[in-house]
Amino acid sequence: LFLYSSKGAMMDNRFATALVIACVLSLISTIYMAASIGTDFWYEYHTMSPAENVSEAGRSIWDEFVSEEADEKTYTDALFRCNGTVGLWRRCITIPKNSHWYSPPETDMTTNCISFSLSDQFMEKYIEPGNHNSGTDLNRTYLWRLQFLLPFVSLGLMCFGALIGLCACACRSLYPAIATGVLHFLAGLCTLGLVGCYVAGIELLHKKLPLPDDVRGEFGWSFCLACVSAPLQFMAAALFIWAARTNRKEFTLLKAYRVA
């Protein structure tokens, strides 16, 4: 009986270690996911044109960029020309600080951003960007909407899982950790879906509006944070589920041993 009790203590320590690691992974993935949602570097455009090429037109480009009537083609062209960056909530361009006609060309640049409104997030995308008469592009429309909704679903699932975990601690039971693991697994699927939707949306957009020869596009570090968050969520889910199921099995065996 003493040997079995020692073994049981060792197993409990192993479960505790797995839960601690799972909680750390969950916390890191939540921070990464929140940071990726709140930053503007999901996709970056780098133009090879010198800064003075946009000095004279900088103010007009900015006025078109922030206009309520700016369509997808208008602001995408501005992103191409002005080293733009795009996030889930905002789009940014880099223009000279002084862009008046009487100012000499300068290299002192500033980054200005404008947020996507809620109506922008659910606005229809057109087969020909900027042409309202070309018909709705359903693929790009739903990809855009999903990339807006999925990260919040992912964060919500992880927060709900954390709440269940706190309840499990209060009840001194490890079994509810299975629900926490399942929720983290679903959150990982949402994050993975977000990454896939974003990549597909960018590729489809660039087929409609090809990058100019002097512009290079690449995924930014905000996108990379989301990519890292997904496997962390899956690993946390696996540890939560493993610890809960194995502890349940050990507890059942211990009860059977005591009855015997």
For 110-164, how does the pLDDT look when each residue is reduced to its tens digit (9 = 90+)? 888 888 888 888 888 888 888 888 888 999 999 999 999 999 999 999 999 888 8
pLDDT at 254: 41
Whether the per-residue pLDDT at 24 is higher than 60: the answer is yes
**Distance (Å, rounded) from C-alpha 31 to C-alpha 25?**
10
Residue 259: is it exposed, middle or buried by C-beta count within 10 angstroms (0-12/13-18/19+)? exposed
**pLDDT band at 248; cut points 50, 70, 90:** low
What order do you get walking across the sheet with 109-115 strand by strand?
A: 109-115, 90-96, 85-86, 43-47, 215-219
Q: Which position has the higher pLDDT, 61 or 110?
A: 110
For domain 1-259, the question of CATH label 1.20.120.1810 is answered with no
pLDDT of residue 6: 38
